Structure 1
Amino acid sequence: MSEAIHGSTTSPGTGHPPASARRSARPLTGVGRTVALVLYVWAAAAVVSGVSFLVPSAEWVAISAGVVLCLLFGVLLHLLHRGIWLVLLAAVPALFVLVGAVQYAPELALERYGVRESVVVVADSAAATGGKNHELTLRGSDGRELGEKLVYRGNGAPDVGERLDIVRDARGKVPMEQADQVDAAGRLDELIGGLVVWTLLVLMAGWRGHVARRRDLELYVGARS
């Protein structure tokens, strides 16, 4: 009797890890997580591109959405792999994904509906302040100033008196751009290239995460047996 009782009170779970740990180490569980994150990657890019298409005049909205989704991707990738180095590697293609997703729709619209025009810069809003946010007043070939201003952020803005070729949206929905900077095909290549790299990183993370969980499970069983 005492032996039976003694045998039944042996440490519960000896050699048997928690059910959650066993489920986590199953191949199908790892595959499901990996596929879900791959779908998230492409869906996130579609969301940012959609926002950029719907509100092309408010670029900051698409950029904000893209930054949030990129950060969330980093968190999910870390959870899948349980390591930080793949997350750091994902930062470089994240720039291509973000720029491509934000810029593709507006530049495609300018290529389809834009009107190319040669203009001269006649004023710069940042000339007096020395800031990096420039709103350039332009004069068209007919001698009239354009109602829309060319927005330029950063260093290297065109100087007053400089002649430019710009592309304006005939519908007035998309902000004008310098003609040599409109390249929808290039933006699409950046976007797809970044997404492909992200996808490969997810597949690598899924495999390495599965291997790590299987190893931890085996160590647990070995330690408890």
Structure 2
Amino acid sequence: MPKKPGAHVIHRLSALVVKNLKKPGRYADGGNLYLQVSTGGAKSWLFRYDIKGRSREMGLGPLHAIDLHAARSLAKTYRGQLLQGVDPIDARLAARSAQLAEEGAQHARKKWKWCCETYVAEVKVPELTNAKHAAQWRTTLETYTYPKLGEKWVDEITLDDVFGVLKPIWLDINETASRVRSRMEAVLGWAKVKGYRTGDNPAVWKSNLQHLLSSPDKVQDEGHHPSLPYEKLGAFMARLHEIQATNVK
């Protein structure tokens, strides 16, 4: 069992406890660090803190990628930033934006993955007050578009490319697929305005994809299938991953 909380106590959890915890909830390790167990059993780390009268929560990543030692190291770094009056979330976003700008400056042409990440960091994160919504943008684009388009130059993306991303998921998980289309349209529109591509936006629905894909209003909603065929398991797990990811950000 986790150690009982106490004032200023850190390292309350052990590697064995972290491994064996099953009950959904948040378990304090001390020093602002929490292990979060979702209802589906997924485990991730959370850094909770107050700054300038504001309570904030910062997702550090899933347990399978960030072990207890690494999570404590990150928490120590962020506590140090707090002592200096620096908001760890703002600092992380600034560092990521700087990294993307540096990577982008190295090439006149931009790849799809870079455009997606830069658009989310520069446009959606400042615009969305709920961090979970920004996380949904990242996860959706990463899960459904990066496998096919991640390393493709954005000025080479065509209607066939967009259709190739949407067609396999359009009927099975239409609500998610519609979000993917809308977000692809937004990124491609941004890329055109920035001068990274020219021509029509291949992700636009009206007078474009509407002639290739069934109307979302007439497609069966996801979750209404009586059973899940084996060949559709991959799409289901990707959707489940998206939901779990947004719960820990």
TM-score by length of 1: 0.24
Give 1 or 2: higher helix fraction. Answer: 1
Point out which structure has higher relative CO (alpha carbons under 8 A, 6+ apart).
1
